[in-house]
Copies of this chain bind each other. A is one copy, B any other.
């Protein structure tokens, strides 16, 4: 991650210009103080990343998805993005379905799925776009919207003509090359452009050679790289690549890999792509066509061996996978090839967003740790990051709370499952305590259901939080309903598998943090106890009406996670910020009602219990500033209970 090369340069003349030579484009754009560049990835264009990985001899992969048909399927696809994103794809791409209103704001449109991948999942993303049968204005509109949403890469395609009879329109978009030219004309060098290559020649081309010439036209019109149609033999691709090079195509050419996952999907794809399946493959598949598992195993074997041949040729640096929106086969192939990142290094403790304007974002309030997509959503209108650390009165406000069922914030669990986890019928505040406790312990509730998510956290407990499990269980049982916490860390290596983040060779630190809902009775006792701790413990205590009790100096943020790295400034990516806490408070209280109370009938006792908690409990956060000592927050809580007894 760090440039280890010793370089000699004439200092006096070139120092200033060198200063902005790499990774510091941001500092040229803005007057704010420069952000330590932790991850070159965040500052490079896709084509630059590709080049850098190739130069470094790294092998990489990318993943293709299509937009889902339903909102529920979209929720699942986004979870898949998160899971498959953890394997470290160089990019993903989202196909363009002209029939599905692909440029609209529908949660299932190509545009919105790509937007979600970039902004909410932090994935470098290529949006496909087809041009045939569309007006120039439509296409420009789509491209402008893509740019506005932070998309930076377009796969320029012709698309399938609608209807049998298709005639070229004069001055229209008849071929992909027209779209490439249009993008370059209208958007200059803003987008990285990808085009499709056909290792067997496009089925409609006059000849293989003619198709190669078309490809060359697309590249010379401004395409940056090529992804190929699927193929069944490595020789097919390698020959194609040599033929491309022979006619002067020098940009990267990425083989499209299709792991066979089932008999029917193969048949359908073959029909669409007009490819012929080699006889030796048909011979294996036909006899096992009703055995999905067997076909998938075979498909994985086949893909692994073909990919190995490609990589071993020395001509291939990246592999593009047609996933068909499925996870298992592709992940299996990647793991067997050894290019799935088993231990993805985190550049920061939270998942970064890939929107260009967020590439300098290096600090966030801790409150949204379990709801990063909500944080991104509520700050999407901000022009600048990190936005004056929130304390600046000229900072833009957080976005309003609405769209609780915004599709990428929607729980993966349906209502019935939530009721099983959180209780079909609540009998009192204690039954709520019980839900929190079961979530912490991982033990089933009294009806035998495990509580795997909470309104404030759609995933099981984080590994790091597991370190605090025993104490958390104890306090939740007694009505300190924890929704966020972190242990103190006094200088662990940045490569630590649980708490590490950032480049290697560094040290990470944390102040202990605890955030919970609790009753006013407990809050009164807690405040008495906190007096004893003076400045050691900073607290913010707020109820739904906004009554706010704090001992924080002014309204400054308190850094609770930071890292020290070789040759860099300090990175402090997580803070407890009093100003944003008040925005978080609204969200945290609202989740009681929106996600939990509304599961029950109006006026039902269960609903009234949740409503009571919402109306009367306080949201409390505590920071132990003395990070080198043993975390005192448990003592604070113990003292509070003792005072109450």
Cα A546 to Cα B9 with chains together (Å)? 8
Minimal Cβ-Cβ distance residue in B for A5: B551
Which of A27-35, A271-279, A317-325, A366-374 lies on the face that meets chain B?
A27-35
From B15, B27, B34, B509, A564 is in contact (CB under 8 Å) with: B509
Decide: B554 and A558 in contact? CB cutoff 8 A: no
Decide: A505 and B535 in contact? CB cutoff 8 A: yes
Cβ contacts under 8 Å, A7 to chain B: 549-550
Minimal Cβ-Cβ distance residue in B for A552: B567
Cβ contacts under 8 Å, A36 to chain B: 556
Cβ contacts under 8 Å, A4 to chain B: 534-535, 551
Cα A567 to Cα B552 with chains together (Å)? 6
Confirm or deny: A628 has a beta carbon within 8 angstroms of a beta carbon on chain B.
Answer: yes
A24-57 interface with B by 8 A CB criterion: 24, 27-28, 31-34, 36-37
Cα A571 to Cα B482 with chains together (Å)? 30
A547-570 interface with B by 8 A CB criterion: 547-559, 562, 564-570
| Number of residues on chain A facing chain B (CB within 8 A) | 85
Cβ contacts under 8 Å, A490 to chain B: 491
Confirm or deny: A268 has a beta carbon within 8 angstroms of a beta carbon on chain B.
Answer: no
Minimal Cβ-Cβ distance residue in B for A543: B11
Cα A480 to Cα B559 with chains together (Å)? 39
A562-610 interface with B by 8 A CB criterion: 562, 564-570, 572, 575, 578-579, 582, 585-586
Cα A392 to Cα B18 with chains together (Å)? 10
Cβ contacts under 8 Å, A505 to chain B: 535-536, 625-626
Decide: A393 and B16 in contact? CB cutoff 8 A: yes
Decide: B572 and A570 in contact? CB cutoff 8 A: yes
Cβ contacts under 8 Å, A16 to chain B: 393, 397, 579
From B18, B33, B554, A23 is in contact (CB under 8 Å) with: B554
Which of A201-209, A383-391, A514-522 lies on the face that meets chain B?
A383-391
Confirm or deny: A428 has a beta carbon within 8 angstroms of a beta carbon on chain B.
Answer: no
Decide: A10 and B546 in contact? CB cutoff 8 A: yes
From B20, B549, B550, A393 is in contact (CB under 8 Å) with: B20
Confirm or deny: A2 has a beta carbon within 8 angstroms of a beta carbon on chain B.
Answer: yes
Cβ contacts under 8 Å, A15 to chain B: 548, 555, 578-579, 582
Confirm or deny: A22 has a beta carbon within 8 angstroms of a beta carbon on chain B.
Answer: yes
Confirm or deny: A19 has a beta carbon within 8 angstroms of a beta carbon on chain B.
Answer: yes
Minimal Cβ-Cβ distance residue in B for A575: B569
Cβ contacts under 8 Å, A185 to chain B: none
Please state the number of chain copies in the assembly: 2
Confirm or deny: A645 has a beta carbon within 8 angstroms of a beta carbon on chain B.
Answer: no
A123 vs chain B, min Cβ distance (A): 25
Decide: B384 and A31 in contact? CB cutoff 8 A: yes
Known A-B contacts A9-B548, A564-B562; the reply to A554 vs B24 at CB < 8 A is yes
Decide: A569 and B578 in contact? CB cutoff 8 A: no
A383-440 interface with B by 8 A CB criterion: 384, 386, 388-389, 391-394, 397
Confirm or deny: A8 has a beta carbon within 8 angstroms of a beta carbon on chain B.
Answer: yes
Cβ contacts under 8 Å, A485 to chain B: none
Decide: B553 and A392 in contact? CB cutoff 8 A: no
Decide: A585 and B392 in contact? CB cutoff 8 A: no
A102-121 interface with B by 8 A CB criterion: none
Cα A33 to Cα B23 with chains together (Å)? 20
Decide: B2 and A553 in contact? CB cutoff 8 A: yes
Decide: B548 and A558 in contact? CB cutoff 8 A: no
Decide: A549 and B8 in contact? CB cutoff 8 A: yes
Confirm or deny: A198 has a beta carbon within 8 angstroms of a beta carbon on chain B.
Answer: no
From B8, B27, B554, A548 is in contact (CB under 8 Å) with: B8
Decide: B536 and A388 in contact? CB cutoff 8 A: no
Decide: B393 and A19 in contact? CB cutoff 8 A: yes
Cα A289 to Cα B100 with chains together (Å)? 105
Minimal Cβ-Cβ distance residue in B for A15: B582
Decide: B569 and A569 in contact? CB cutoff 8 A: no
Decide: A6 and B384 in contact? CB cutoff 8 A: no
Decide: A548 and B579 in contact? CB cutoff 8 A: no
Given contacts A8-B548, A490-B491, A562-B570, 6 further A-B contacts (CB under 8 A): A5-B551, A6-B551, A16-B393, A31-B384, A34-B556, A557-B569
Closest 7 CB pairs of A and B: A11-B546, A566-B625, A11-B548, A12-B546, A2-B553, A20-B393, A27-B392
Q: Please give the residue numbers on chain A whose beta carbons come within 8 Å of chain B beta carbons, in ascending order.
A: 1-13, 15-24, 27-28, 31-34, 36-37, 384, 386, 388-389, 391-394, 397, 490-491, 505, 507, 509, 527, 534-536, 538, 542, 546-559, 562, 564-570, 572, 575, 578-579, 582, 585-586, 623, 625-628
Q: Can you report 7 A-B residue pairs in the complex whose CB atoms are below 8 A from each other?
A: A3-B553, A5-B551, A27-B391, A28-B393, A559-B564, A559-B568, A567-B625
